[in-house]
Structure 1
Amino acid sequence: FKPAEVNALLADLKASAEGFVRSGASGRIVREITAFMRYAGQGWEIPVPLADEPFGDDAVARLKDRFEENYQRFFGRAIEGLDGLESEIVTWSVKAT
């Protein structure tokens, strides 16, 4: 995981989303950042809402924690005994309204 590269990607997505909204509306724009994540090898992803702030050196730990919290919320349980099983981000999403 390279925070600077992800921050640059998200900056591009934010600019694109905001440009689209500004072309048809004025006023305050609200952004929602989402990572669609899964455990490596799974066939589906879950949405993981993220804070609209740049990633730093602690990004991997923060993303893992957010994923596990949302996984438990989404499925109603955590998966035990997955030490070493990695999670992955399949898609980044920026929604602007």
Structure 2
Amino acid sequence: MKIDKVIGTHVQPNQLGKPESKTLQLSSATQTAEPQVSIDTQLLSKAQDSFNQLPDVDMAKVESVKQALARGELDLDISALSSALMRFHTGHE
């Protein structure tokens, strides 16, 4: 059985052949252009590198606070601490 005609399709008979090959050509400006980095980006990159070299926690300060707590030199105000935590995490008391 041979089918010569297809009714109700969206494919035209001339679309069933081989597709034409198209070449993509880039303009000469696109091919030779190099990305330019602004001075702000360069300064920001340097600052971020310096920041990344810093320790996350000042361990000397942590140790001095631990020792002061152990000696009883620091008074821990639970109410003030809880209020500060609430303000930090919720934006209000």
| TM bin (shorter chain) | under 0.3
Q: Which has the higher helix share?
A: 2
- Larger strand proportion, structure 1 or 2? 1
- Higher relative CO (Cα under 8 Å, sequence separation at least 6) belongs to 1
TM-score computed with the length of structure 2 as normaliser: 0.23
**TM-score normalized by structure 1?**
0.22
